[in-house]
Structure 1
Amino acid sequence: MKKKPDHLRTVTFERRFTRHAEGSVLIKQGETWVLCTASVEERVPPFLRGSGRGWVTAEYSMLPRSTVERKEREIKRGKPDARGTEIARLIGRALRAAVDMQALGERTVT
């Protein structure tokens, strides 16, 4: 039975979904699944070295069969997808706004 547009969908969070990332979660809402992983590196971009502040960045990609028509991988096309690049930038900005970079120390979370 299909839900009406104004009905809330159940959201689930499955933590520690991947084995090797320092942090990961699989988020499910209806037929939409989002896998988020976090990798931590003990370094920062050159413009932050010596500042005591950290950095958070994001990557975004859709799997080839995540859409009705098969989505070609960026690596196969040889150039980044403009939409995906903008989504990654938006996610990165949102994460940086929410994280205390001083408390993070000189680490990068991707």
Structure 2
Amino acid sequence: MADLKIRQIKIKTGIVRRLAKEEIYYKIESKQQVEKVERLKAEAGCEHVIWKQMEVLQESKMMIQDSHRRLAIAHEDLINLLETEVDLDVSEEYKEALNVLDSVKLDG
């Protein structure tokens, strides 16, 4: 039974870690897209191309919101799991989960 609980902790920790990386990736992508749009505007690029790149930027911003929402849910799920499995606090997986929770910032 403890092995199953430890496995759940490990899985949920991996989910939080992956979603945190995904959110960071989308933020970087969005920043790069802003720079691309600004560059195109400065170069007086084709209006159609600029418009399409603005659409890509909007999609990227929506992905940031979506990934943040999913990260917040996964973060809360992991916290709840750790609170119910306090007896496993000596396990390496439990400690790793706490480290991941501490490293992930949910700043809105």
Same fold, TM-score > 0.5, yes or no? no
Q: Highest Rg: 1 or 2?
A: 2
TM-score with structure 1 setting the length: 0.30
More helix by share: 2
